[in-house]
């Protein structure tokens, strides 16, 4: 297959970016999107041009390192699929493909298609944990957890932390990411003691990092490769409301 690429190139965080055009000829339809970029990069290197920088690692849809906005959609056109799991057979032969970085104030571009998502780490540090000192844990079966609750916690915990939700949101909101973590931990009995502090601190950090508010567009859910449900945002909002009331009373 043959493709035309329009790719965002930006040397460093301070420089101005621009789109550049490349040809991607003779791409096997079984190649993944990133393998297509590998092939283009091999050509660029041999020509003495600088290869296109993009983030990736596991290439099996789980580490959350790959990103890219492909033809306007984070992670491209396939539902519930990361860029690394997207295959060229889903594109038309001869098609022009636009490739941009995830864009959000809180995710500054580092180079080309690589962005800085450290804000997510800082939100996690603000409260995304259950305190459990190694060595002091009770037996794993000491507290039975009903299967539906455990399953729902797992649905929320499946978030891969890629940031596509932020990139898709017109307000660059991180509510789906934060909602998933708050829900995962808040649904489990172990997560109760820190539940209120957790939601307050994580939401506060999210706001400070420059993520926008949720105005119910649900673009986040539509692009999420892990199919995290927006119901977790509602759950977080409930927890947040309760926690704020309690905080003001105390």
Partner 1 sequence: MNNGLDSKIPGGPLEKKWSKHKFDSKLINPANRRKYEIVIVGSGLAGGAAAATLGELGYRVKCFCYQDSPRRAHSIAAQGGINAAKNYQNDGDSVFRLFYDTIKGGDFRSREANVYRLAEVSANIIDQCVAQGVPFAREYGGLLANRSFGGAQVSRTFYARGQTGQQLLLGVYAALSKQIAAGNVRMHPRTEMLDLVLVDGHAKGIVTRDMVTGEIASHAGDAVLLATGGYGNVFYLSTNAKGCNVTATYRAHKKGAYFANPCFTQIHPTCIPVTGEYQSKLTLMSESLRNDGRVWAPKAKGDKRPPAQIPEEERDYYLERKYPSFGNLAPRDISSRAAKEACDDGRGVGPGGLGVYLDFADAIKRLSEPVIRERYGNLFDMYHKITSEDAYKTPMRIYPAVHYTMGGLWVDYNLMSNVPGLHVLGEANFSDHGANRLGASALMQGLADGYFVIPATIGNYLATQTGKRPPPDHAEFKKAEEDVLARIKKLLNINGKRTVDSFHRELGLLMWDKCGMARNDAGLKEALNRIKEIREEFWVNVKAPGANEELNQALEKAGRVADFLEFGELMCLDALDRKESCGGHFREEHQTPDGEALRDDENFAYVSAWERTDGTPVQHKEPLVFENVHLAQRSYK
Window 84 to 103, contacts with ligand FES (CB under 6 A) = 84
CA–CA separation, 68 vs 113, rounded Å? 7
**Residue 134 interaction partner, one of partner 1, ligand FES, none, beta carbon < 5-8 Å per kind:** partner 1
Using an 8 Å Cβ cutoff, are 209 and 119 in contact?
Answer: yes
| Subset of residues 12 to 31 that bind partner 1, contact rule: CB under 8 A | 12, 28, 30-31
Q: Considering only residues 1, 6, 9, 51, which one is a binding residue for partner 1 as defined by CB under 8 A?
A: 51
From the list partner 1, ligand FES, none, which binds 135 (C-beta under 5 to 8 Å, kind-based)? partner 1
Strands 114-115 and 109-111, bridge-based pairing: antiparallel
Q: Which of residues 151-170 bind partner 1 (CB under 8 A)?
A: 151, 153-154, 157-158, 160-161
**126 sits near partner 1 (criterion: CB under 8 A):** yes
| 126 or 228: CB nearest partner 1 | 126
Question: Using the rule CB under 6 A, is 58 a contact of ligand FES?
Answer: yes
**Quick one: which of 1, 44, 53, 62 contacts ligand FES (CB under 6 A)?**
62
Residues that bind ligand FES (CB under 6 A): 56-59, 61-66, 82, 84
């Amino acid at each position: 297959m043959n493709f035309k690429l329009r790719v965002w190139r930006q040397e460093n965080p301070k420089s101005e970016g621009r789109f550049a055009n490349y040809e991607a000829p003779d791409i096997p339809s079984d190649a993944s999107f990133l393998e297509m970029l590998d092939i283009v990069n091999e050509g660029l290197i041999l020509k003495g041009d600088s290869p296109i920088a993009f983030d990736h690692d596991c290439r099996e849809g789980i580490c959350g390192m790959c990103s890219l906005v492909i033809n306007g959609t984070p992670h491209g056109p396939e539902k519930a699929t990361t860029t690394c799991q997207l295959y060229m057979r889903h594109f038309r032969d001869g098609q022009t493909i636009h490739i941009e970085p995830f864009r959000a104030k809180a995710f500054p571009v580092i180079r080309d298609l690589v962005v800085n998502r450290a804000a997510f780490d800082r939100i996690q540090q603000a409260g995304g944990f259950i305190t459990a000192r190694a060595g002091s844990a009770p037996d794993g079966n000491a507290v039975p957890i009903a299967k539906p609750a455990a399953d729902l916690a797992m649905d929320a915990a499946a978030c891969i932390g890629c940031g596509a939700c932020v990139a898709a949101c017109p307000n660059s909101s991180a509510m789906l990411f934060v909602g998933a973590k708050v829900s995962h931990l808040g649904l489990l009995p172990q997560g109760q003691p820190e539940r209120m502090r957790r939601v307050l601190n994580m939401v506060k950090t999210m706001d400070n990092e420059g993520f926008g508010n949720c105005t119910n567009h649900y673009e986040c859910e539509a692009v999420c490769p892990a199919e995290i449900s927006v119901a977790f945002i509602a759950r977080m909002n409930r927890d947040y409301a309760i926690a704020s009331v309690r905080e003001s009373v105390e």
